[in-house]
């Protein structure tokens, strides 16, 4: 980017799947007439055609150019804007395909009986006694969690699981 003469970098850690990203907003506020926004890849800017075209429209209204290095697109020409629309649609299609394959993979794993997610935390040895004291109102949830050496949200998750599996 330095070799291209870029004087301000906006680095986004979030996915381009939606346009509600802090660095994108900062960049859109920062750019002025005559500037050019340079991205390494269109999918880094937006994954939906609608978001991409909305961002490009915003840049056009501010008379700001747009260049994508990977796709060699420059929106200062009508052909560049047309190609941008095509690549935006392809980026959206790619995202939808990834999500579809991910969903199929999860369903397939579940059908094979594979357990997904983090393994459930084991109940501590003194769980029943502490749980009963808490349920009877003798101790607070915070005190129960401390005695069990758990964080309070973990304590509540374990209570839900206990009440599903235990016959009380």
**pLDDT per residue as tens digits for the range 5-18:** 777 888 777 666 66
DSSP notation for 42-102: HHHH-SSHHHHHHHHHHHHHTT-EEEETTTTEETTSHHHHHHHHHHHHHHHHHHHHHHHHH
Please give the Cα distance from 43 to 57 (Å, whole number).
Answer: 17
**pLDDT per residue as tens digits for the range 41-56:** 887 888 777 888 888 8
Task: Kindly report the pTM of this predicted structure.
Answer: 0.51
**pLDDT per residue as tens digits for the range 93-132:** 888 899 999 999 999 999 999 988 888 889 999 999 999 9
What's the whole-number mean pLDDT along residues 129-139?
A: 95
What's the whole-number mean pLDDT along residues 27-34?
A: 92
């Amino acid at each position: 980017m330095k070799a291209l003469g870029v004087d301000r970098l906006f680095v986004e850690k979030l996915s381009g799947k939606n346009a509600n990203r802090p660095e994108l907003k900062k960049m859109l506020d920062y750019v002025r007439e005559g500037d050019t926004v340079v991205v390494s890849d269109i999918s880094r800017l937006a994954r939906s055609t609608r978001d991409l075209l909305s961002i490009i429209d915003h840049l056009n209204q501010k008379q700001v150019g747009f260049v994508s290095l990977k796709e060699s697109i420059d929106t200062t020409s009508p052909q560049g804007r047309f190609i941008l629309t095509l690549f935006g649609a392809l980026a959206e299609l790619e995202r939808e395909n990834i999500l579809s394959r991910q969903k199929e993979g999860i369903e397939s794993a579940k059908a094979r009986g594979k357990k997904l997610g983090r393994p459930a935390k084991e109940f501590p040895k003194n769980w029943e006694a502490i749980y009963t004291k808490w349920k009877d109102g003798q101790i607070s949830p915070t005190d129960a969690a401390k005695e069990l050496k758990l964080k309070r949200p973990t304590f509540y998750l374990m209570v839900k699981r206990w009440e599903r599996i235990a016959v009380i």
